[in-house]
Structure 1
Amino acid sequence: MKCVVCKGGELAPGKTTVKVQRGETLVIIKDVPADVCQDCGEAYLDSNVAKKIEQQVEEAVARHTEIEILRYAA
């Protein structure tokens, strides 16, 4: 599959870091599985991975966390 950002790079399985700011809460999740463009580095998340990240962000916001750094776990 081709990258929609750079239009030329091929996607390959890899890992990325996701940063989400929601109000006063910043959540950083490392080692997130993704398809990563071999040219520009753009990362594409599977819908199940994206749902899990969204859940973790919502939980951090509910706890009124200011900064949370996590390692992705399936």
Structure 2
Amino acid sequence: MSGLICHVCKTGQAAPGNATVTLQRGDTTVVIKDVPAHGCDNCGEYYLSAEMTEKVMALAEAAVRKGAEVEILRWAA
């Protein structure tokens, strides 16, 4: 994704970095910090690879299953 024009602002370019991902389902909010992602240098929009998306969704699903109201995690490679 590096060097590609951002789909949101149409002017920035996406570069490798980290993002904080926040997901909500029902009464559960999950925040995952330092997730490897590509971020726009203009607007800050981030893009996850298919592999990262799958892993982030699995962490969020685990939080929902255990009944967490708020769960804050730091990405561990």
Q: Give the alignment partner of residue 70 of structure 2, picking from 67, 71, 74.
A: 67
Q: Give the drift of 1:73.
A: 1.7
- Map 1:1-74 → 2, pairs under 5 A: 1-74=4-77
One-letter amino acid of the structure 2 residue matched with residue 27 of structure 1: V
CA RMSD of aligned residues (A): 0.7
TM-score (norm 1): 0.95
* Residues 35-63 of structure 1 deviation map (CA, whole Å, 9 limit, x = unaligned): 10111111000010000010011111110
Question: What CA distance in whole angstroms lies between the structure 1 residues aligned with 2:66 and 2:10?
Answer: 40
In structure 1, stretches of 5+ residues that fail to align are: none
Question: What CA distance in whole angstroms lies between the structure 2 residues aligned with 1:38 and 1:24?
Answer: 32
Question: What CA distance in whole angstroms lies between the structure 1 residues aligned with 2:14 and 2:22?
Answer: 21
TM-score (norm 2): 0.92
